[in-house]
Chains A and B, each alone.
Chain A
Amino acid sequence: MNRKTGNGLPQSIDETLALLEGADYVADRALATVLFLSLRMQRPLFLEGEAGVGKTEIAKVLAQALDRRLIRLQCYEGLDVSSAVYEWNYAAQMVEIRMEEATGVSDRKAMERNVFSEKYLIRRPILDALSGRDGKAPVLLIDELDRTDEAFEAFLLEILSDFQVTVPELGTISAEEPPIIVITTNRTREIHDALKRRCLYHWVDYPDAARELEIVRRKVPHANQRLSDEVVRFIQRLRELDLFKSPGVAETIDWASALTELDKIALDPETISDTLGVLLKYQDDIARIDEGEGRRLLKEVKAELAEG
């Protein structure tokens, strides 16, 4: 909090909301609050939620709106230090050793300094994120953290709390300006408390109808007004059903675009069953909606729209 604040960061929750909106991200106040705090207190933001509710998008929008570089670390099982933090360029180091031998350098200390110098350090995303200059620190997106195993979380603790990385051969490298860190997870497993404790937590939920409609309006601007209204209401009802995987906002946008591409201006049962694959990704769910529940939902939506 003691840092100067003239680096383009929003100064209040309202400004944060406006910033996101300017980049076509329709956020609710809860998200704006936690985002503002994470920028203000320089704490990593930990976003959890179902797939397709716009977690990753927040980091992208943030980078774009604040005009920062976006560094993305996609997590996967087996991700380790050498592909996430740093790696030595072994081949070049070998050449260096041979060169020094040829020129007759015999001082071991000097040799070690030369071989393990920054020149041969390959920066992976996390180390790269520490290289931000004043006011231009990058946004570091650690995407789908739950896909790695627990061992990897431990690597993150140092960077999350102190914005530094320790390379045994070189020493500690710390950031001049801490990066803005956004971590997302789909909750396929629990993340350890030690990591969560260093972050600000937020559960990204499905948006309500009004906000979802606004999202569709912004993301699929050429969609027919009535169509988007029906699409949003249909999906909102779909989420109330006990489906194995409810459609996310990403699916809503995809569906609205798909229907617009098909030149539809309103929903009808045939179109729904033809395009259901855009919306639902499990055969059980598709079969269930196809078998008649889809028709019932559509009828309800139409009745609701007719009323008002």
Chain B
Amino acid sequence: MPINPSLPKTADADGRIADNIVYFGRALRKAGMRVGPASIKDAIEAVLAAGIGTREDFYWVLHSVLVTRHEDHAVFDEAFRLFWKSRELIEKMLAMFSPIAPDRREKASQRAAEQRVASALFDGHEKDRQKREMPEVEVDARFTVSGNEILRQKDFAQMTAREIAEAKRAIAGLKLPVDLIATRRFRPDPHGRRADPRAMLKGAMRTGGDLIVPKFRSVRTVHPPLVVLADISGSMSQYTRIFLHFLHALTEKRRRVHTFVFGTRLTNLTRQMRHRDPDEALAECSRAVEDWSGGTRIGEALHEFNRLWSRRVLGQGAVVLLITDGLERDDVAGLQREMDRLHKSCRRLIWLNPLLRFDGFEARARGVRAMLPHVDEFRPVHTLDSLSDLCASLSAGRSRDADPRIHMDLGNRVAA
């Protein structure tokens, strides 16, 4: 369709195209898409550039500007259908492109309809994310002053509310791991071992080329991406909640931390964890997760992760922390296959299991025995001390005491 040459640069005085696109953008924003004023401006420009031919063209024109993530496609599709169809707006706009002036009398009643659709659109949305408050932990009156030492070794599950608050503070002050991997980039470094010709030349210019002083650079190091898969089923939820605090502290300090939780299904909490305030972040998380403290299907959750996410988040030498008790009921063979796949796709797989708190833990459960051969490290995660140990081990690399084979041998002996 050729573009009308007399087309105005902005919407005309009536302004209904621009208005409606702005409204539509706001509807999308409310539905959770990230649509800023700049993209709305772009959308209007795009519509003017393409001209409105058919409904399908209009759809894709808006789509190309407003959707920037594949996940948003479904939201856009639904919103588009609701927002534009019910009011036959596209047809009205088509009329606007034709030389006949649109009927201005309709405007008032149309606005009313607009409101209705908008509220329908948002109502449905609100229903989707019903507020789920985090269960309040009752304040325990029997609180006794516990020294830091005792607190550090106390099982999270047995802590009182006050102690948990205390523990959260301790976590915020925890010495975080300094695991670094070399990249292929350089930084200027006077003690470096590689010559930096660019800096040398630049420096030489300063003296007019009389002095060419050697400059050096060395390899830049970064934190590898950290991917966390945490079990939030009933038996695990207390540990996972505390651990999320630890993760929040980590997420603040380094950029690439991806957090997933699973019960009966997998949820990506990475965005929610970016909130500044840990409690707010956790409240956001509980809202996003449907099955907090429900049952667990580890194999299925891992399968979903492997299929949908592993290629997106496990690049560039990622370390995976898997937090679960490993008590799988359903399909143990499937669990083994998925663990194997996960292990092969990451640089280091660390399994954190609170069951390890029991002295003489034996890998007897079938799920645990299926998972153990595929992990690099096997650690407890039930006290502040174990969190500190985890930090130390992330910094140091492999350590012998976390070798999963210790437990495997034990388990085999018991089974035999």
The interface of chain A, by Cβ under 8 A from chain B, is 1, 11-14, 29-30, 33-34, 36-38, 40-41, 43, 46, 48, 77-78, 80, 82, 88, 90, 93-94, 97, 100-101, 106, 108, 111-112, 115-116, 146, 149-151, 169, 186-190, 193, 196-197, 200-203, 242, 244, 284
Contacts and interface: CB of A to CB of B under 8 A. Distances in A.
A188 B315 contact: yes
Interface of B: 1-3, 34, 36, 38-39, 42, 45-46, 48-51, 53, 56-57, 60-61, 63-65, 67-70, 73, 183-185, 197-198, 201-202, 204-205, 208-210, 212, 222, 255, 306-307, 311-313, 315-316, 337, 341
A168 to B, nearest CB: 9
Given A93-B201, A97-B204, A203-B70, A33 B316 contact: no
Nearest to A28: B60
A36 B61 CA distance: 9
Nearest to A78: B184
Nearest to A76: B184
A151 B34 contact: no
Contact of B312 (A29, A151, A189, A202): A189
A82 B185 CA distance: 11
Contacts of B63: 30, 34
Contacts of A88: 198, 201
Q: Is the interface of B mostly helix, strand, loop or mixed?
A: helix
Given A33-B50, A40-B49, A197-B36, A111 B2 contact: no
B130 to A, nearest CB: 28
Contacts of A100: 209
A83 to B, nearest CB: 11
A90 B307 contact: no
Contacts of A90: 197-198, 201
A22 B47 CA distance: 26
Contacts of B67: 201, 203
A200 B64 contact: yes
A37 B61 CA distance: 8
B307 A242 contact: yes
Contacts, number: 122
A33 B60 CA distance: 6
Nearest to B45: A41
Contacts of A33: 50, 57, 60-61, 64
Which 9 residue pairs of A and B lie closest in terms of their CB atoms, listed nearest first? A78-B184, A34-B64, A33-B60, A97-B209, A196-B68, A108-B208, A203-B70, A188-B315, A30-B60
Contact of B60 (A12, A29, A187): A29
A193 B56 contact: no
Contact of A41 (B49, B53, B255): B49
A149 to B, nearest CB: 7
B36 A149 contact: no
Given A37-B64, A115-B205, A189-B315, A13 B49 contact: no
A242 B334 CA distance: 14
A244 B306 contact: yes
Contact of A111 (B68, B201, B209, B312): B209
28 contacts: A1-B49, A11-B2, A12-B1, A12-B51, A12-B53, A13-B53, A29-B60, A36-B50, A37-B50, A37-B61, A40-B49, A78-B184, A78-B185, A93-B201, A94-B201, A108-B205, A111-B209, A149-B316, A186-B311, A187-B70, A187-B312, A188-B311, A189-B312, A197-B38, A197-B68, A200-B65, A201-B67, A244-B307
Given A12-B53, A188-B312, 20 more contacts: A11-B3, A12-B3, A13-B53, A14-B1, A29-B57, A37-B46, A37-B49, A37-B61, A40-B49, A48-B70, A90-B198, A94-B201, A111-B209, A115-B201, A150-B255, A188-B315, A189-B315, A190-B312, A193-B68, A200-B64
Nearest to A203: B70
B398 to A, nearest CB: 24
Given A193-B68, A200-B65, A111 B311 contact: no
Given A29-B60, A34-B60, A203-B70, A189 B201 contact: no
B362 to A, nearest CB: 31
Nearest to A35: B64
Contact of B313 (A115, A169, A189): A189
Nearest to B71: A203
Contact of A101 (B1, B34, B209): B209
Contacts of A190: 312
Contacts of B70: 48, 187, 203
A78 B60 contact: no
Contact of B64 (A188, A189, A201): A201
B211 to A, nearest CB: 11
A46 B255 CA distance: 24
Contacts of B208: 106, 108, 111
A100 to B, nearest CB: 7
Contacts of A200: 46, 64-65
A93 to B, nearest CB: 6
Contacts of B183: 77-78, 149
Among the interface residues B36, B63, B67, B68, which one has the most CB atoms of the partner chain A within 10 A?
B68
Contacts of A149: 183, 185, 222, 316
A303 to B, nearest CB: 29
